[in-house]
Structure 1
Amino acid sequence: MGNWAGHNYHFWSTGSRATINVNEIIGVFTFCQARLITEDASKPDDRANCKNILQMGADWWLNESTGWLPDWSANSGIGGGRSKWITNDWQYFSMSTLPPDELKKNPPCYK
């Protein structure tokens, strides 16, 4: 990703947005896996100096095609997970709108 010191990198799916009937869900769960890698294997490994954090989240959008609007009228945040340091080892990052006991009773489905 390059040098992002002092910046926030916000990524999202390159696929289409999903249409969700809000009356058919009980919660939202997002996750990813991440780890630090070297940008160029021929250069010294500088991962020990890397101080990146990652946080998962999700947004509600008005529809499948409206783009972001400066007044935030096209989307609103569903939630954001706990920010964690990215390390050399693979680890999961997640966000859930359900408390842990409800999440255990209603595990996410994966496609």
Structure 2
Amino acid sequence: MTRRAFTTLLGDFGIWHERNSAAGTPQANLYAIMQARRTMRWLHPITWPGAGEAGDLITRRYKIKDAYLRRSLSDSQLATVHRHLTNPTGPPAGGFQLFGCGGQVNTVGPP
């Protein structure tokens, strides 16, 4: 997928949630996940179920960072995600997920 197609898809996902996540709206009940993954074809079969870390689905360790965003990622941030997922010299596996949720969670003010 080209950088432009990738950033448009992820950007549109974020913008839709920005515009349709106010508390009390019918769309506030929707929950969506956008996932982009990077895996090396040769690595998947030898590390089944496939994330490249030792262990099984129960004991495998992951590195995760999350945040509640009120706005879509910027064009620069989306381009950075694409660059890291398509970098041939990067790690053999990785991913990026956006979880779209709205409604009541958006009524809480920033700290």
TM class by shorter chain equals under 0.3
Higher relative contact order (CA 8 A, sep 6+): 2
More strand by share: 1
- With normalisation by structure 1, the TM-score equals 0.25
If the length of structure 2 is used for normalisation, what is the TM-score?
0.25
